[in-house]
Amino acid sequence: MSSEAAPPVGRAITAVDVIRAKRDGQVLTPAQIDWVIDAYTRGAVADEQMSALAMAIYLNGMNRAEIARWTRAMVESGVHLELGGVDRPTVDKHSTGGVGDKITLPLAPLVATCGAAVPQLSGRGLGHTGGTLDKLESIPGWRAHLSVEEISRQLRDVGAVVCAATEGLAPADRKLYALRDVTSTVESVPLIASSIMSKKIAEGADALVLDVKAGSGAFMKTVNEARRLAEALVGIGDEHELKVTALLTDMSVPLGHAVGNAVEVAEAVQVLRGDGPADVVELTVALAREMLALAGLPDVDPGEVLGSGAAYETWCRMIRAQGGDPEAPLPRARHVHVVEAERDGVLTTLDAYAVGVAAWRLGAGRTRKEEAVQHAAGVLCLAKPGERVAAGQPLLELHTDTPDAVPAALAALARQMEIADEAPARTPLVMDVLRGKVR
């Protein structure tokens, strides 16, 4: 990139100046970044102009200082969530999204049980990755939208809250996120990183642990892509004096056995009761350990706490505080289709993306943000890669209220499950850990 751009002396900054500068590979000045984010939030910069700037950023990138300033401008576009009345250290977690990624559900009450407070502002699913709020809305009575006062009170009383972001939090990001989705600029690392971190910084937690996923079911398909994103996220944390740790984790295979909404809640409850799939337990404990370390509680063993079932009581209190009934039966699908193994051998492949698309087509996900989801829809993975199976053995259960959706789900799974004679080499679930400078 060339040196910083500036408008001619005596002339105010315009959208065209900023677009041209980034189009030509120049470094945007802090004044240009502050102006364009503020003007776009107010509506003074048109969508087509911000689209052009987003594409220029996608093509030419941003340096670390630009990304940090862009993030700060988006934070300052709205309100800050004040958590000053909470008498515990506050620490949050963010995942870049995956298939069967229900980790927030057991993680938030676990970390709260261990002594920290977790203000988890979550979102909804779009496409093949599920949304935490959609999953929790499978629980009868549970509500996602809380006031700032309700969030603070629940953090004081329970220690954990999982809810929708408040309306005034980083409104510039809300506008830009929707624009990126329709202009093929979603994959820009600077824009992804600033989007994630602007909301988390505005949220006001003392520390943040990031689960940056790589693999077919993740947004970043390769480890190198995931590492670039993790480094950008941690760098923004450093620039904003926020304690941040990022884990690089594998998302080539679905997490756990359940992919969907109610089925993932049921599996999370198993984990909270001291049971559940080994990979879900492993990642929950790994993330909890990093969160507790950043919160100044490194001597608490989250694995021991999770195994004891104590976190389940915190889960029940958290759900009840938001109007839900943790003991109520979860929705069950009206139709279940079983996929069987075609031969004896070892299951070597179960592609995460294919399973996510199948669950989405069964009704667990949405193609547009205003669509409703089927809470009972999803996929149960009855076998995972590395396990020996026999011909005719059930491998998957497809759950849906609309049987007509099954053929499309089966089409997504075609040739994405492989059985061979030998077990595959196992990729570690946690592939690396990147820690920020602020501790």
Active-site hit among 22, 128, 135, 199: 199
Active-site hit among 51, 152, 188, 195: 195
- In the chain, the N- to C-terminal Cα span, in Å, equals 32
273 noted as active-site residue: no
β-sheet bridge partners, residue 4? 27
**Residue type for 171, please?**
P
Q: State how far the alpha carbon of 123 is from the alpha carbons of 135, 163, 169, 235, 369, in Å.
A: 10, 8, 13, 24, 11
180 noted as active-site residue: yes
94 noted as active-site residue: yes
88 noted as active-site residue: no
**Six-digit token string for 136:** 């929790």
Active-site hit among 22, 72, 94, 174: 94
Active-site hit among 69, 72, 128, 180: 180
| Reduced 3-state DSSP string for the chain | CEEECCCCCCCCCCHHHHHHHHHCCEECCHHHHHHHHHHHHHCCCCHHHHHHHHHHHHHHCCCHHHHHHHHHHHHHCCCCCCCCCCCCCEEEEEECCCCCCCCHHHHHHHHHHCCCEEEEEECCCECCECCHHHHHCCCCCCCCCCCHHHHHHHHHHCCEEEEECCCCCCHHHHHHHHHHHCCCCCCCHHHHHHHHHHHHHHHCCCEEEEEEEECCCCCECCHHHHHHHHHHHHHHHHHCCCEEEEEEEECCCCCCCEEECHHHHHHHHHHHCCCCCHHHHHHHHHHHHHHHHHCCCCCCCHHHHHHHCHHHHHHHHHHHHCCCCCCCCCCCCCEEEEEECCCCEEEEEECHHHHHHHHHHHHHCCCCCCCCCCCCCEEEECCCCCCEECCCCEEEEEEECCHHHHHHHHHHHCCCEEEECCCCCCCCCEEEEEECCCC
11 noted as active-site residue: no
The catalytic residues are 94, 173, 180, 195, 199
